[in-house]
A and B are shown apart, each in its own frame.
Chain A
Amino acid sequence: MIEFKNVYFQYPHGGASLKNIDFKVEKGEFVALVGENGAGKSTMLKLINGILKPINGDVVTAGFNTKNTKISQIAKHTGFLFQNPDRQICCQSVKEEIMFSLNLLNDMTAEEKEERAEKIINAFSLNPDENTFAMSRGEKQKTALASALASEPEVLILDEPTTGLDYRECTAIMDFVKKLNKEKNITVFMVCHDMEIVMDYADRVIALAQGEMVDDDTPENIFRKKDVLKKAYLLPPQITELASLLGGEFENCDSAEEILEVLKKQRKGEL
């Protein structure tokens, strides 16, 4: 679904760059992209849907090489959530905003669009008539995400989807994304600074440091590699850290429940 072939990119004036980026994401995967501030994560996302074009190498998204495809063409197959929702929202009310997204696709009837909008508004517990310009940061984030998800694109590109959201909203939204990912086989490519979320939702993690890929592995594995964590300045979820500190039987535990299981077993063995 998304393929980077030995990509090199640099901004015209900036010194920062992306080097030797090479990976392939299959349909239906849930990938998290992690790395320090300024590592080039948002830049990489913009390369995926063709807003930026690679200087060397190729990026292929949903079967289109971004070098010779119009962005609006790729956009019909991708949903994109920007880091700053202010720039994405351009309509007066939440409903209009979501309809605006749906109206850009022309393979749905009016009723279908209405239904879709209704569904997403309910799922995100939004108020359809709320004024988008007077909303809080978190509400804007939700609205922008809702309008990106409404069209159920083949590829979902999310730049820090959970910033500004409280814990309850965060899990509600990530559960929704995960459901889309599982049920409709939508590919998700997400930048996230919250390793707990990465651990809970992603199937695969790509770690970026200073514009280079340092690792590409499952979250369970990556959070146990000390050198990778150090290079990309990542703090693993506390449970994983605890598990590796405990070692032995606990080494491979990834949740509190698993640790509890091992503890119970140990106790039974001792009794």
Chain B
Amino acid sequence: MTGVLDYSKGNSIFHNMNPVTKIIIALCICVAAFGADNLLFLAGIVALDLIIGIISGIKEKAFSIFKGFVKISVFLFVLQVLFVRSGNTVFLFVTDDGIILAAKIVLRLMGAALPLTYMLTVTKVSDLSNALVKVCHVPYKYAFTITTAVRFIPVFINELDAIIEAQTARGVEFDTKNAFARLKLILPLCVPLLMTSVKKADSSAVSAELRGFYLRKQSSGYKEYPFKAADILAIILFIAFAVFGILM
């Protein structure tokens, strides 16, 4: 079972980078996306994200994540367009200001969210937490919490799918075409989902403790995460990109 956010094996330039470099790159792109105010530049960021996805050799996954965001974006776009009242009316109650503002918001959201999700698919979660501990000196407890939270998202989704499957098999009409009816059916399932998730988290905590979680120190990891020339070059490049974005 491979969820969209699960690690994808590969040997691309991004796979081999230091995990911390990848975090910095993703953050730089986020900063650029939120700093920039130029529609074209924002579209360019989204294109850059997709190119990064292709270079990383996760083309299929990159586009399926992209498609997911497009769906959310359409919804957001319509909502925004409806609420902006200033500017010249284009048709009905839609204004030109509204369209531009909505487009910017949507592109910004995509530009910032895509690199974060792509980073997660090309980095092993264990590498991410170990590198945070080794390089950034984040206490292991916190690094572990962050990465576990990330790892729980696909588990959560799979669990919900399985619960829906089980309930459909009992005769709950999840296969109805009506989205609102389906939503109403999903809500009561949040109880078992929450219960199983809390239980899972609880047993994870117990088993981590049994395996000596609190004995772990910064020096416990055997893998080193040195910065290579490519890492430093990439960091400089993307910081410059972020600065450029803010100035735009």
Using Cβ atoms and an 8 Å threshold, which residues of chain A touch B170? 75, 80, 88, 101, 104, 147-148
Using Cβ atoms and an 8 Å threshold, which residues of chain A touch B192? 86-87, 89-90, 133
Interface string of A64-88 (1 = CB under 8 A from B): 0000001110011010101010111
Using Cβ atoms and an 8 Å threshold, which residues of chain A touch B191? 90
User: Given contacts A87-B163, A87-B166, A88-B166, is CB(A105)–CB(B195) below 8 Å?
Assistant: no
User: Given contacts A71-B175, A72-B175, A86-B196, is CB(A49)–CB(B188) below 8 Å?
Assistant: no
The listed residue (A13, A76, A84) touching B171 by CB distance below 8 A is A76
* Tally of A interface residues using CB under 8 Å: 25
B146 at interface by CB-CB < 8 Å: no
Using Cβ atoms and an 8 Å threshold, which residues of chain B touch A88? 166-167, 170
Main secondary structure of the interface of B (DSSP, over half): helix
A104 touches B172 (CB 8 A): yes
Within 8 A of A (CB), among B56-114: none
A51 at interface by CB-CB < 8 Å: yes
B169 touches A133 (CB 8 A): no
Measured in the bound complex, the distance between the Cα atoms of B168 and A262 in whole Å is 51
Count: A-B pairs, CB below 8 Å: 62
A105 touches B171 (CB 8 A): yes
The listed residue (B163, B169, B188) touching A51 by CB distance below 8 A is B169
Give A46 Cβ to nearest chain B Cβ, in Å: 8
B210 at interface by CB-CB < 8 Å: no
* Tally of B interface residues using CB under 8 Å: 22
B2 touches A75 (CB 8 A): no
Give B158 Cβ to nearest chain A Cβ, in Å: 11
The listed residue (A13, A14, A82, A84) touching B169 by CB distance below 8 A is A82
Using Cβ atoms and an 8 Å threshold, which residues of chain B touch A75? 168-171
Using Cβ atoms and an 8 Å threshold, which residues of chain A touch B171? 72, 75-76, 101, 104-105
B172 touches A72 (CB 8 A): yes
B174 at interface by CB-CB < 8 Å: yes
Using Cβ atoms and an 8 Å threshold, which residues of chain B touch A70? 173, 175
Using Cβ atoms and an 8 Å threshold, which residues of chain B touch A86? 192, 195-196
Measured in the bound complex, the distance between the Cα atoms of B166 and A148 in whole Å is 11
B165 touches A13 (CB 8 A): no
Measured in the bound complex, the distance between the Cα atoms of B192 and A82 in whole Å is 15
Using Cβ atoms and an 8 Å threshold, which residues of chain A touch B168? 51, 71-72, 75
Within 8 A of A (CB), among B165-194: 165-175, 188-189, 191-192
Within 8 A of B (CB), among A95-150: 101, 104-105, 133, 147-148
B195 touches A72 (CB 8 A): no
A residues lining the B interface (CB < 8 Å): 13-14, 46, 49, 51, 70-72, 75-76, 78, 80, 82, 84, 86-90, 101, 104-105, 133, 147-148
- Contacts A/B (CB < 8 Å), 19 sampled: A13-B2, A14-B1, A46-B165, A51-B165, A51-B168, A70-B175, A72-B173, A72-B174, A75-B170, A76-B171, A87-B166, A87-B196, A88-B170, A90-B191, A90-B192, A101-B171, A104-B172, A133-B192, A148-B170
B residues lining the A interface (CB < 8 Å): 1-2, 159, 162-163, 165-175, 188-189, 191-192, 195-196
8 tightest Cβ-Cβ pairs between the two chains A and B: A75-B171, A104-B171, A80-B169, A87-B166, A72-B173, A88-B166, A90-B192, A87-B163
